[in-house]
């Protein structure tokens, strides 16, 4: 399995889709000349992503040689937003999924069982008894002189 690289181009003064229409064929042809095994264009609401897969072991060419090609440098210099609209990084781009599917979640186990209900407290406030008690100050009450 090869190593994927991504080139993300965001919209700017003009759309990234028009940049793709202008430079896309040349980029793909150059990538294939430098040993790319696979490629894909991904269109997003904010721009486009070119995903390229190069073999991990390649005697001549590869990602670095592709990136240093004059035609590629010219295409990357011509992106719609040259300051903030260009990203190059290893891996597949945009919101692509993982190369390997996720493992299934474990089945629910005893950890998901309900906790036992707490025992009722013996300290129960009886409102009826409190209402029947006289409203006199207790002997423990203190009155402070002002």
Q: For position 99, what pLDDT does the model report?
A: 55
Nearest to 54 by CA among 75, 28, 34, 25: 34
Name the helix (H) or strand (E) containing 73.
Answer: helix 70-77
Residues with Cβ within 8 Å of residue 86, at least 6 apart in sequence? 7, 8, 9, 10, 76, 79
pLDDT in tens, 6-33: 999 999 999 999 999 999 999 999 999 9
In terms of pTM, does the model score above 0.95?
Answer: no
pLDDT, tens digit (0-9, with 9 covering 90-100), for 85-122: 999 998 887 655 555 556 666 666 666 677 788 777 66
User: Which of the following CATH numbers is that of domain 3-90: 2.30.30.240, 3.40.50.10490, 3.90.950.20, 3.30.70.100?
Assistant: 3.30.70.100
Cα distances (angstroms) measured from residue 91 to each of 7, 31, 54: 10, 16, 11
What residue spans define the domains of the chain?
3-90
What DSSP character marks residue 5?
Answer: E
């Amino acid at each position: 399995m090869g190593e994927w690289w991504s080139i993300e181009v965001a919209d700017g003064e003009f759309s990234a889709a028009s940049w793709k229409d202008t430079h896309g064929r040349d980029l793909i042809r150059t990538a294939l000349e430098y040993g790319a095994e696979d490629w894909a264009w991904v269109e997003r609401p904010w721009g486009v992503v070119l995903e390229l897969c190069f073999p991990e072991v390649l005697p001549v060419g590869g990602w670095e040689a592709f990136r240093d090609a004059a035609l590629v440098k010219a295409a990357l210099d011509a992106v719609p937003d040259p300051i903030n609209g260009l990203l190059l990084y290893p891996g597949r781009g945009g919101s692509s999924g993982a190369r390997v599917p996720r493992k299934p979640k474990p089945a629910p186990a005893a950890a998901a069982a309900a906790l036992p209900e707490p025992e009722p407290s013996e300290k129960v406030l009886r409102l009826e008894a409190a209402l029947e008690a006289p409203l006199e100050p207790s002997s423990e009450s203190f009155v402070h002189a002002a």
